[in-house]
Amino acid sequence: MRSSLLLIILPLFAFSIMHKFYVSVTNIQYSKEDNSLQITSRIFIDDLENVLEERYGVEINLATAKESEEANFYIEKYMRSKLVISADGENKAFVFLGKKYDNDLIICYLEIEDIDLPSRKTLKVENDILTDLFEEQQNIVHFRISGKKKSFVLVKENNKGLLNL
């Protein structure tokens, strides 16, 4: 009797345990009108909270009524340490414009101003978002620049993507 009950219950557990994906998506688009790179990064809220707590020792409770007043400070600090964009080998600083929530995702808005992209030859992105927390983390980067579209899947061992302009 016990073994038949076990045979019935075990398969049910297999369907209730969901495989977790470790992925972020960053879109980089050039705005000719603003002469800037407009960047959005989509990250799972719980993963970002976990890495901020582990790295900085803070609980920021994103997307809740208890969200810390310092949330933007720590998100920006983390993003600056994990997302580097360079044009012709020169690192470009971004402005953290803010964030919004979409279900279980946080969308971070960044901008690199006055980049004069038409005079550039290469654009490189280095994306280490969450790779310090999850070995299997994948960071997808989509470039949309002057009619060119290119995508990269970046991982801890291969965290750089280069776009020839």
Higher pLDDT residue, 9 or 46? 46
Dihedral sign (CA 50, 158, 151, 161): positive
* 5-14, 31-40, 109-118: segment of lowest average pLDDT: 5-14
* Structure tokens given for 153: 């899947």
Q: Which residues lie below 8 Å from residue 71, measured CB to CB, with a gap of 6+?
A: 60, 62
Contact 47, 85 (CB under 8 A): no
What are the residue ranges spanned by the domains of the chain? 20-164
Tokens read off for 92: 């470009």
Q: Provide the 10 A C-beta neighbour count for residue 111.
A: 16
Tens of pLDDT, residues 109-155: 999 999 988 899 999 999 999 998 888 999 999 999 878 789 999 99
Query: Which of these, 92, 97, 50, lies nearest to 72 by C-alpha position?
Result: 97
Exposed e or buried b per residue across 27-58, where buried means at least 16 C-beta atoms within 10 angstroms of its C-beta: bbebeeeeebbbbbbebbbebbbebbeeeeee
Neighbours of 112 (CB within 10 A): 20
Write out pLDDT tens, residues 52-93.
999 999 999 999 999 999 999 999 999 999 999 999 999 999
- pLDDT beyond 70 at 104: yes
Nearest one of 15, 42, 164 to 109, comparing CA atoms: 42
Q: Which helix (H) or strand (E) holds 108?
A: strand 105-112
Q: Tokens 């345990």 correspond to what residue?
A: 17
